[in-house]
A and B are shown apart, each in its own frame.
Chain A
Amino acid sequence: MIKAIWGDAPYGSSFQPSVGTSGGLITVWNNSLINVWSSTSFDHVLVISGSVILTGENIVIINVYASCDMVAKRNLWERLTSFVASKVDLCVCLYGDYNYDRCMEERKGRGTVFRQMEADMFNTFIADTLLIDFPICECLFTWYRGDGISMSRLDRFLLSEKWCDPCGSTGSL
Chain B
Amino acid sequence: MTLADQRGLSDHVPLVLHVDEANWGPRPLRMLKCWADYSGYSEFVHQKWASFSVLGWGGYVLKQKLKMMKTSLKEWHQQHSQNMEGKILLVKNRNSYFDSKAETNALVEEEAKELQDLSVNLHSLSRVQCSINW
Contacts and interface: CB of A to CB of B under 8 A. Distances in A.
Interface residues on A, range: 20 to 34
Nearest to B22: A166
A171 B25 CA distance: 18
Nearest to B10: A143
B18 interface: yes
Interface of A: 93, 95, 97, 103-105, 134-139, 141-146, 154-157, 159, 163-164, 169-173
A125 to B, nearest CB: 16
Interface residues on B, range: 20 to 34
B56 interface: yes
Give the most central of B2, B7, B21: most A CB within 10 Å: B2
Main secondary structure of the interface of B (DSSP, over half): loop
Contacts of B3: 136-138
Given A103-B57, A103-B60, A143-B13, A136 B2 contact: yes
Give the most central of A97, A145, A172: most B CB within 10 Å: A172
B24 A135 contact: yes
B41 to A, nearest CB: 29
9 contacts: A137-B3, A142-B15, A144-B11, A146-B11, A155-B15, A169-B20, A170-B20, A171-B20, A172-B21
B19 A169 contact: yes
A99 to B, nearest CB: 11
A149 to B, nearest CB: 13
A143 B12 contact: yes
B91 to A, nearest CB: 41
A172 B25 contact: no
B11 A137 contact: no
B1 interface: yes
Nearest to B12: A143
Contacts of A172: 16-21
A15 to B, nearest CB: 17
